[in-house]
Amino acid sequence: MSPDSATEPEAQAGFSCTASEMRALLAERAWLRDSYSSQHDERTESWLADAAKWLGPQAGDRESLARLVGLIFHYEPSEVLAAPEAHAVLLRKGAREVVRVLASEALACETIDSDQFKEIVGRLKAKLGHRGRVLFHPIRLALAGQVGEGELDRVIVLIDRAAAAPGLAPVKTIRTRILEFCAALD
């Protein structure tokens, strides 16, 4: 996804990763439930395949991939807001307004998938008139927990599916993340 658009994640040249390799990475990091190795389920398998397909090409190597996937499994707003780059993003004109409207939009959704994310971004653009980094950096900071580019949009669209996948370790949903972020922001 480009910084100006939220679209269906598509594969690009980068680190090649399969669902099996993603499963192994998650097992190494204790991001799979202990019982999962003996009880594969469709939702978790689908998530593993999509995570490999969408995040693998965004990573230069396995460690970079682990850092991206780690954003799904570890989210602490106090840590996010302590980073100097978070302060830089939130000091920009309109950033807090983006977070406020994002919170309203995200809380109106039960779950956020790729289509919902595109719709939310479209509504934010229409309501606020922001585009590019002015819009996307606060979104990515609040939901993925990091400032960055389009690879974080792919992380965001995987979060709620990860939270619902029974084979994965606990994941904070988008709704939980935005509530915690806004509470820590005030």
Q: What percent of the chain has pLDDT over 90?
A: 83
pLDDT interval class at 60 (50, 70, 90) = confident
Q: What is the pTM of this model?
A: 0.88
pLDDT interval class at 15 (50, 70, 90) = confident
Residue 62 has pLDDT above 90, yes or no: yes
What pLDDT is stored for residue 8 in this prediction?
A: 43
pLDDT interval class at 34 (50, 70, 90) = confident
Print burial letters for 137-171: b (CB count within 10 Å at least 16), e (below 16).
bbbbbbbbbbbbebbbbbbbbbbbbbbebebbbeb
Domain ranges of the chain: 19-185
Residue 36 has pLDDT above 90, yes or no: no
Q: What are phi and psi of 143, to 5 degrees?
A: -100, -40
pLDDT digits (tens, 9 = 90+) for 163-179: 999 999 999 999 999 99
Residue 153 has pLDDT above 70, yes or no: yes
CA-to-CA distance for 142 and 186, rounded, in angstroms?
13
